[in-house]
Amino acid sequence: MIKKIKASSSEKIIFIFLILLGIITSGTYFVIKNKCLFIKNYNPKNINFQNPDNIAILNAPCGNVIIELYPNISPKGVKRFEALIRSNAYENVAFHRVIKNKLVQAGDLEFGKKGSLDYGKIGTGKSGLGTIKSEIDNKFNYVKGSVGLARTFKNDTEDSQFFIILQDEPLFEGEYTPVGKVLYGLEVLKKIKHQRHSEYILRPDFINSFKMLN
Protein backbone atom coordinates (compact mmCIF):
# COMPACT_ATOMS: atom_id res chain seq x y z
CA MET A 1 0.00 0.00 0.00
CA ILE A 2 1.34 3.35 -0.97
CA LYS A 3 1.14 5.94 1.67
CA LYS A 4 0.11 9.37 0.46
CA ILE A 5 2.50 12.06 1.65
CA LYS A 6 1.12 15.56 2.06
CA ALA A 7 3.36 18.50 1.04
CA SER A 8 4.35 20.79 3.86
CA SER A 9 3.51 24.51 3.55
CA SER A 10 7.19 25.46 3.02
CA GLU A 11 7.38 22.94 0.16
CA LYS A 12 4.25 24.49 -1.38
CA ILE A 13 5.82 27.96 -1.17
CA ILE A 14 9.00 26.73 -2.88
CA PHE A 15 6.93 25.05 -5.60
CA ILE A 16 4.91 28.25 -6.26
CA PHE A 17 8.15 30.27 -6.25
CA LEU A 18 9.68 27.98 -8.87
CA ILE A 19 6.61 28.26 -11.09
CA LEU A 20 6.66 32.07 -10.81
CA LEU A 21 10.38 32.12 -11.55
CA GLY A 22 9.78 30.06 -14.68
CA ILE A 23 7.01 32.40 -15.86
CA ILE A 24 9.12 35.52 -15.23
CA THR A 25 12.18 34.01 -16.94
CA SER A 26 10.31 32.98 -20.06
CA GLY A 27 8.42 36.32 -20.11
CA THR A 28 11.65 38.27 -19.84
CA TYR A 29 13.18 36.17 -22.62
CA PHE A 30 10.39 37.14 -25.01
CA VAL A 31 10.52 40.80 -23.96
CA ILE A 32 14.28 40.95 -24.51
CA LYS A 33 14.06 39.06 -27.77
CA ASN A 34 11.48 41.44 -29.18
CA LYS A 35 13.65 44.52 -29.69
CA CYS A 36 10.73 46.48 -31.11
CA LEU A 37 8.41 45.98 -28.13
CA PHE A 38 8.30 49.56 -26.84
CA ILE A 39 8.84 51.31 -30.18
CA LYS A 40 5.97 53.41 -31.45
CA ASN A 41 5.08 52.76 -35.05
CA TYR A 42 3.84 55.97 -36.68
CA ASN A 43 1.14 55.78 -39.29
CA PRO A 44 1.62 58.62 -41.79
CA LYS A 45 -2.11 58.59 -42.56
CA ASN A 46 -2.81 59.84 -39.05
CA ILE A 47 -0.45 62.81 -39.35
CA ASN A 48 -1.06 66.17 -41.02
CA PHE A 49 2.05 67.31 -42.89
CA GLN A 50 2.84 70.87 -43.97
CA ASN A 51 4.58 69.65 -47.15
CA PRO A 52 3.03 66.23 -47.92
CA ASP A 53 4.74 66.11 -51.32
CA ASN A 54 8.12 66.08 -49.62
CA ILE A 55 7.36 63.28 -47.18
CA ALA A 56 9.03 59.89 -47.54
CA ILE A 57 8.31 56.84 -45.40
CA LEU A 58 11.07 54.36 -44.72
CA ASN A 59 9.86 51.11 -43.21
CA ALA A 60 12.52 49.37 -41.10
CA PRO A 61 12.21 46.22 -38.93
CA CYS A 62 10.76 48.17 -35.96
CA GLY A 63 8.39 50.42 -37.90
CA ASN A 64 8.10 53.58 -39.94
CA VAL A 65 10.60 56.42 -40.15
CA ILE A 66 8.95 59.53 -41.55
CA ILE A 67 11.33 61.84 -43.35
CA GLU A 68 10.77 65.32 -44.78
CA LEU A 69 12.91 66.03 -47.85
CA TYR A 70 14.43 69.49 -48.41
CA PRO A 71 14.54 70.20 -52.16
CA ASN A 72 15.16 73.89 -51.48
CA ILE A 73 18.44 73.13 -49.73
CA SER A 74 19.82 70.45 -52.05
CA PRO A 75 17.76 70.34 -55.27
CA LYS A 76 19.93 67.84 -57.15
CA GLY A 77 20.56 65.62 -54.14
CA VAL A 78 16.86 65.44 -53.29
CA LYS A 79 15.96 64.85 -56.93
CA ARG A 80 18.27 61.81 -57.04
CA PHE A 81 17.11 60.54 -53.63
CA GLU A 82 13.43 60.92 -54.53
CA ALA A 83 13.91 59.24 -57.92
CA LEU A 84 15.46 56.21 -56.21
CA ILE A 85 12.68 56.13 -53.60
CA ARG A 86 9.97 56.32 -56.28
CA SER A 87 11.59 53.50 -58.25
CA ASN A 88 11.58 51.31 -55.09
CA ALA A 89 15.34 50.94 -55.46
CA TYR A 90 15.89 50.96 -51.71
CA GLU A 91 13.62 48.00 -50.96
CA ASN A 92 15.50 45.12 -49.32
CA VAL A 93 18.70 47.13 -49.13
CA ALA A 94 20.87 46.67 -46.04
CA PHE A 95 21.68 49.11 -43.28
CA HIS A 96 25.27 48.10 -43.86
CA ARG A 97 27.03 50.66 -41.66
CA VAL A 98 25.65 51.32 -38.20
CA ILE A 99 27.36 53.06 -35.31
CA LYS A 100 25.36 52.83 -32.10
CA ASN A 101 23.66 56.12 -31.20
CA LYS A 102 25.62 57.88 -33.95
CA LEU A 103 24.47 56.97 -37.43
CA VAL A 104 22.90 54.43 -39.71
CA GLN A 105 23.90 54.16 -43.35
CA ALA A 106 22.20 52.33 -46.19
CA GLY A 107 21.62 52.54 -49.92
CA ASP A 108 24.29 50.39 -51.53
CA LEU A 109 22.14 49.19 -54.43
CA GLU A 110 24.89 47.09 -55.97
CA PHE A 111 26.32 45.11 -53.06
CA GLY A 112 23.76 45.66 -50.31
CA LYS A 113 20.64 43.93 -51.63
CA LYS A 114 19.06 41.13 -49.62
CA GLY A 115 19.94 37.81 -51.25
CA SER A 116 23.02 39.17 -53.00
CA LEU A 117 24.94 40.80 -50.19
CA ASP A 118 28.64 41.12 -50.86
CA TYR A 119 30.39 41.67 -47.53
CA GLY A 120 33.71 42.27 -49.28
CA LYS A 121 32.41 45.16 -51.33
CA ILE A 122 29.45 46.53 -49.40
CA GLY A 123 29.61 50.29 -49.12
CA THR A 124 31.33 50.71 -52.47
CA GLY A 125 28.38 49.92 -54.74
CA LYS A 126 26.80 52.22 -57.31
CA SER A 127 23.30 52.91 -58.52
CA GLY A 128 24.17 52.96 -62.20
CA LEU A 129 22.87 56.51 -62.49
CA GLY A 130 26.28 58.10 -62.04
CA THR A 131 27.50 60.43 -59.33
CA ILE A 132 26.12 63.88 -58.60
CA LYS A 133 27.71 67.11 -57.41
CA SER A 134 27.93 67.82 -53.69
CA GLU A 135 25.54 70.55 -52.51
CA ILE A 136 27.23 71.82 -49.41
CA ASP A 137 27.03 75.60 -49.63
CA ASN A 138 23.59 76.18 -48.17
CA LYS A 139 23.27 76.52 -44.43
CA PHE A 140 22.10 73.33 -42.79
CA ASN A 141 22.34 72.28 -39.17
CA TYR A 142 23.19 68.64 -38.93
CA VAL A 143 21.11 67.92 -35.87
CA LYS A 144 19.87 64.53 -34.69
CA GLY A 145 17.71 62.93 -37.38
CA SER A 146 19.30 64.75 -40.33
CA VAL A 147 19.56 62.76 -43.53
CA GLY A 148 22.55 63.24 -45.83
CA LEU A 149 24.00 61.65 -48.91
CA ALA A 150 27.12 59.59 -48.31
CA ARG A 151 30.14 59.99 -50.56
CA THR A 152 33.71 58.76 -50.96
CA PHE A 153 36.62 60.77 -49.55
CA LYS A 154 36.17 63.20 -52.45
CA ASN A 155 33.34 65.66 -53.07
CA ASP A 156 30.97 65.24 -56.04
CA THR A 157 30.82 61.46 -55.60
CA GLU A 158 27.32 61.22 -54.11
CA ASP A 159 25.19 58.48 -55.63
CA SER A 160 22.58 56.36 -53.82
CA GLN A 161 23.98 55.80 -50.32
CA PHE A 162 22.56 57.88 -47.52
CA PHE A 163 22.96 58.17 -43.78
CA ILE A 164 20.78 59.33 -40.92
CA ILE A 165 22.49 60.71 -37.83
CA LEU A 166 21.34 59.77 -34.35
CA GLN A 167 23.20 62.60 -32.61
CA ASP A 168 24.05 66.20 -33.52
CA GLU A 169 27.04 66.42 -35.89
CA PRO A 170 27.93 70.10 -36.48
CA LEU A 171 31.09 69.12 -38.40
CA PHE A 172 28.98 67.52 -41.13
CA GLU A 173 27.78 70.94 -42.30
CA GLY A 174 29.62 71.85 -45.47
CA GLU A 175 30.88 68.27 -45.83
CA TYR A 176 27.85 66.22 -46.80
CA THR A 177 24.85 67.00 -48.99
CA PRO A 178 21.78 67.23 -46.75
CA VAL A 179 18.54 65.84 -48.17
CA GLY A 180 16.10 65.85 -45.29
CA LYS A 181 15.29 65.24 -41.67
CA VAL A 182 13.43 62.58 -39.71
CA LEU A 183 10.14 63.96 -38.38
CA TYR A 184 8.94 60.80 -36.63
CA GLY A 185 10.44 57.42 -35.82
CA LEU A 186 14.01 58.11 -34.80
CA GLU A 187 13.60 55.40 -32.12
CA VAL A 188 13.06 52.90 -34.96
CA LEU A 189 16.54 53.70 -36.27
CA LYS A 190 18.11 53.26 -32.84
CA LYS A 191 16.96 49.63 -32.98
CA ILE A 192 18.69 48.87 -36.28
CA LYS A 193 21.17 46.07 -35.77
CA HIS A 194 24.63 47.29 -34.78
CA GLN A 195 27.81 45.58 -33.70
CA ARG A 196 29.98 46.37 -30.74
CA HIS A 197 33.31 46.10 -32.46
CA SER A 198 32.65 47.00 -36.09
CA GLU A 199 30.87 49.72 -38.06
CA TYR A 200 30.07 47.24 -40.82
CA ILE A 201 27.35 44.78 -39.97
CA LEU A 202 27.32 41.03 -40.39
CA ARG A 203 23.78 39.80 -41.21
CA PRO A 204 22.40 43.36 -41.20
CA ASP A 205 18.84 44.68 -40.96
CA PHE A 206 17.19 45.69 -44.21
CA ILE A 207 14.89 48.45 -45.44
CA ASN A 208 11.50 46.80 -45.91
CA SER A 209 10.14 49.60 -48.07
CA PHE A 210 10.87 53.24 -48.83
CA LYS A 211 8.10 55.23 -50.48
CA MET A 212 6.96 58.80 -51.03
CA LEU A 213 3.72 59.73 -49.26
CA ASN A 214 2.17 61.13 -52.45
Partner 1 sequence: MILLRAVLLTFIFIYPVKANTIYNLIKIPNLEVYKINTQNKLKYFYATSSFRLGVQKNIVCLNPNKKDLDTKYNTIYKNLNKYSYNFLKKINLKYIVLCENLSISGINTAGIPDNIIKTLILDIKFNKDYFERVIHHEVFHVINDQHKELFNESEWIKFNASNFKYSECSTCTEKLGLNTYNKTKGFFTEYSKSTASEDMAEVYSHLIFLNTEKINQIRKSDIILNKKISYIENKIKKIDNYFTF
Nearer to partner 1, 187 or 199 (CB): 199
Q: Which residues contact 39 (CB under 8 A, 6 or more apart)?
A: 62, 63, 187, 188, 191
What are the Cα distances from residue 7, in Å, to 2, 15, 16, 22? 15, 10, 12, 21
Binding site for partner 1 (CB under 8 A): 99-100, 102-103, 153, 169-172, 174-175, 195-199
Nearer to partner 1, 111 or 172 (CB): 172
Q: How far is the CB of 171 from partner 1 (least distance, A)?
A: 5
Q: How far is the CB of 198 from partner 1 (least distance, A)?
A: 6
Q: How far is the CB of 102 from partner 1 (least distance, A)?
A: 5
Q: Which residues of 144-169 are buried (b: 16+ CB within 10 A; e: fewer)?
A: ebbbbbbbeeeeeebbbbbbbbbeeb
Nearer to partner 1, 82 or 135 (CB): 135
Q: How far is the CB of 104 from partner 1 (least distance, A)?
A: 12
